[in-house]
Structures are given as structure tokens and as C-alpha cells.
Amino acid sequence: MANLDPDNWNASLQNDFALRSGILLIAEVGIVSFIAVTVLLVVSIHRAIKIHRIYGGWGPEDSPLQPLSLLFLIAIFMDSIQAMGNILSARWAFHGKVTEGSYCTAQAVLKQIGNDGVSWFTIAIAVMTFVQTMFPGKLNRSQARGLAAAMIIFISLFLFLMITIPATTIPRYYGNTGAWCWIIDTSREASRLRIGSEYAYFWLAATVSFVLYGIIIVSWLREATAKRDRRRHREAISMGWYPIAYTVEIFPISLVRFLQWKPKGRKPQHGFIILAAVLFASSGAVNVLLWLLTGRRFGFSDPPEESNGRRQGSYMTEILTPVSGGMLSPVAGEMFSPFAEEAPPPGAEEMPSPGSGTLHSPTSMTGGESDFSQPSFPEDSPISQGVDVPGPYVWMPSQEGELGP
């Protein structure tokens, strides 16, 4: 990634089997991450299609898919791009040197898209999680979609400009940095962009994640302590693993770059550089592990079974995270939504809710009765002769507003 003295590294790659093995290890870890995130992408998309079929579209209020679900999918896709950039290092390990050209440029671009994309979508997910968790009534579903769309458009445009403008205005912007290809130190502007176009976003994402998730965690822990809710306590601890894992991934590689870019002082050894790069290359696999172990599914839990085209049972399995259509309160188990309720159209009549009406049989409905008094039947009817004839009952509004006898 950084300028690693290409001549020195190429000489070492040609003669040092251990160093070449280290470069190959980076590629192998990239393969593991790529397979992990690709499987998660396929599973998530398959479940999204199944949810679409069960719920009759993407928009129903009780659908577990939210705008946050889309942000999660794109973040995982960025992990796959990052992994592909690391996989390309296998060529340098086998050849014993890094050669500039289209292959080298492709690796540099993939690395920057993946690294920056993961950082920015980490920020987007943290912001959306914070808003929907701490202010569940501020955004309705349409507004949440608009916020997510704005984030996606901004990040996509930003990445495009951050890559194309320097690459077309700075000669030899991407090239051989020693062990792989990235931004080379050919000018003062390129040297600054090594920090300003990547590492600054790493630590911006880490800072935003720690602050926003930290506020959520403190709030949940206070509530869990006050209400002695162990489940909420576990959820708070699980939420904390996201900023911790991301910081652990970026800290070693950031420290290596700081030591390398110092004008004076001892430079880090090759082994430490490789170790930091291997840890950073595993970020995709780490994100998949977090998805599996923390219980936060971002709306992609296994959908309920279908029966005659209808969904069966509740699908609110992602408790206390703003990634399902509704959330379960840890206090009484009541359902609530992270979205603000949209006002009904003018003139629309409210439907009676359970508990505000009286059960009536078809006979009492037609007879104008407001209770279950027995109507009269012909003497030769099955009911008059004591035969049990089941009949449907429907909800009708009660004048008293209470459940009938």
C-alpha cells in the first residue's frame, strides 16, 4: 500500500522465500475473505428474494428488510472488492517481483475502492443504526429510504472522483510500492493522498463507530441495569464488537505506515509489515464472523415458512437492532417500529383494533342483536334438534367499545 522502497523489496522477493510466502499468505487470506463474503452475499440475496415473495414486496411495514439492509449488502460487496485486490498479490509471490502495467493498476484501484468503500459504508451503517435506534420515531420508512439513497449516491460519487481525478492529473499515480501496487510516492500531492485518500477514512470510520455505537451501548446498559434485563445487556455487549473489530484490523497497518513515512528513525521489519497486511486482509472474513456470532442479521434472518401463500408466525427475530420491520421491547415484549408512523390519507376510517369490538355470529348480525342471545330456529332445523353446527364469527364494532360476552 505505501511506498516500501520497490528496489529493496524486489531484491528481497527474488531471494527471500519467507517474504514471498508472506505475500502469498496475504493472497490466501484474501481468498478466504472473498469466499466468506461471497457466500454471505448469495445467502442474503436469496433470503431477500424469499422475503419479497412472502411479504408481497419490499415495502410492507412488517417486512424485516429495511434501508439498512441495503447498506449492509453494499458494505459486504466492498469487502469482496477489497479481497480481490489482495488476491492479486499472488502473482508477485510466484514471480518474485512486482511489475507495473494494467494488472498492477487494477490491483491498486481495487484496493482503494474496497478499502475506502468499507470505511464509508461502515460510517453509513453506524449513522443509520444510531438514528433508528436512539430516535425510532424521527424517520418514517420513506424518509429512511431517502437517507440511505443519499448516502449511497454520495459515497459512490466520492469514490469515483477520489480515484479518477488524481489518476488522470498526477503522472504515475498508481504503481509498484514494493510488495504490491498502490499509490506511489512520485510527487508531493501523491504523498499526501496516501493519507488523505485512505487512512484518514479508516480512522474517521473508527471514530464515528466508537462514538455512535458507544452512545447506544451506554444507553442500553443503563436500561438493562435499571430493569435487570440480561438480554438487553448481551445485546449491548454484542454491539460493541463492531468498532472494536474494525479498529483492531486497521491499527497495525496504520502503525506500519506511520513508521514507514517518518523521515527519520528505524523502519519496520518485513515480517511486521506482512503480519499487519494479513490482519487487514482478513476484514471480510471478520465481518462475516460478526454477522454469525453477534446475532445482528440486518434483516436477513431465515424467512418464515410459507403456507398457502401466507407467512406463518412472527419474523421479528432481530431483537433490539434497527434492522427489522419492528422490534421487540425487552420490557413487555410489545412490538414497536423504528420508523415514524405515516398519517392516514384524509377521509380514511380507522379499522377497529382487537379488543375494541364484539364477536358476533352471522345470525346475530342479521337479527340486529348486539350480544350472543339465542335466536329462534324452525323446529325441524339441525340446531333445534341438538346438532352442533359450527359457524364463523367475525369482528364487528361494539357500541360500548368492549369485548362482548
CA 242, 244, 246, 248: dihedral to nearest 10 degrees? -150
- Please give the pLDDT value at position 378: 54
Q: 124: which 3 cell numbers?
A: 453509513
CA dihedral (163, 164, 166, 168) in degrees, to 10, reads 150
Provide CATH code, domain 6-293: 1.20.1070.10
DSSP states along 193-233: HHIIIIIHHHHHHHHHHHHHHHHHHHHHHHHHHHHT-HHHH
Percent of the chain exceeding pLDDT 90 equals 36
Element (H, E) at 336: strand 335-336
- With a cut of 50, say whether residue 327 has pLDDT above it: no
Cβ–Cβ under 8 Å, residues 26 and 82: no
- Cα–Cα distance between 341 and 140 in angstroms, integer? 6
Assign 402 a pLDDT band (cuts: 50, 70, 90).
very low
Higher pLDDT, 249 or 302: 249
Confidence of residue 249 (pLDDT cuts 50, 70, 90): very high
Contact at 8 Å (CB) between 29 and 82?
Answer: no
CA proximity to 47, closest of 319, 241, 291 = 291
- Summarize pLDDT for 116-146 with one digit per residue, the tens: 999 999 999 999 999 988 888 888 888 888 9
Residue written as grid cell 422490534: 327
Identify the pLDDT of residue 157: 96
- Lowest-confidence segment of 167-171, 306-310, 330-334, 372-376 by average pLDDT: 330-334
- The residue extents of the domains of the chain are 6-293, 351-370+391-405
Measuring CA to CA, which residue among 212, 288, 320 is closest to residue 42?
288
CA distance 80 to 41: 9
Residue count of the chain, please give it: 405
More confident position, 307 or 81: 81
What does each C-alpha distance from 183 to 197, 209, 217, 349 come to in angstroms?
Answer: 10, 27, 38, 63
Give residue-wise pLDDT tens across range 102-112: 999 999 999 99
Q: Which residues contact 153 (CB under 8 A, 6 or more apart)?
A: none
Asked whether the predicted pLDDT for residue 271 surpasses 50, the reply is yes
Task: Write down the pLDDT at residue 262.
Answer: 75
Q: Spell out the long-range contacts of 216-220 with Cβ–Cβ below 8 A and sequence spacing 24 or more.
A: 216/129, 216/130, 216/133, 216/134, 219/134, 220/320
If pLDDT is split at 50, 70 and 90, which confidence band does 383 have?
A: very low
Residues 6+ apart with CB under 8 A from 181: 98, 100, 104, 105, 107, 108, 111, 174, 175
Q: Is the pTM of this model over 0.85?
A: no
Half-sphere exposure of 86 (CA within 13 A, CB side): 32
Which of 146-160, 263-277, 290-304, 312-326 has the weakest average pLDDT?
312-326
User: Residue 201's beta-bridge partner residues?
Assistant: none
Number of C-beta neighbours around residue 401 at 10 A:
11
**Given pLDDT bands bounded at 50, 70 and 90, which one contains residue 270?**
confident
